[in-house]
Amino acid sequence: MRVIDLGSYPGGWSLYSSKIVGRLGHIISCDIKPMDPIKNVHFFQGDVFDRSTITRLSDNLKFPAHVILSDMCPNITGISIIDIPKCFLLTEKVIEICKFMLIPEGSCILKMFYGKNFSNQYQKIRNIFSSVKIRKPHSSIKQSNEIYIIAKRFKCGVSKI
């Protein structure tokens, strides 16, 4: 199994994924912050908005991923008119990466935030996955707009980058 972990710092999802896929699996983690080494995880530091980072992800993957995980979050200011658009840009980037690096029928888990235009973003995800669910983590404070989207059965074929 091949897994991409975006926004991987401090490494929790990568560590869990490593235990699930075992030594025969392939996990590539990427974050703008450095991360301590994890067995069976290939980490590199980079920004997903930088073309060279996307190229590096693709080159290290070799074949499309079965799962894409994204816990990416911009630096939050607490001002929703600033924070929400930044969050939506990250969601757009994850959708783009899915189109290029996820196998048909693959899965994606991504962090999102409720806010203006949430329904548009959610619909974009529903358009490319057959099953989409919203989950709010138990660890998230009640007032937080943070949610996770669990998207399964990717509908699109893999495109060239």
Residue 68 CB burial class (10 angstroms; 0-12, 13-18, ≥19): buried
The amino acid at 64:
P
Q: Which of 111, 124, 152, 160 is catalytic?
A: 111
* DSSP H helical ranges for the chain: 12-21, 51-61, 80-101, 118-128
Beta-sheet pairing, 2-6 with 26-31: parallel
111 catalytic residue (yes or no): yes
Residues annotated as part of the active site: 111
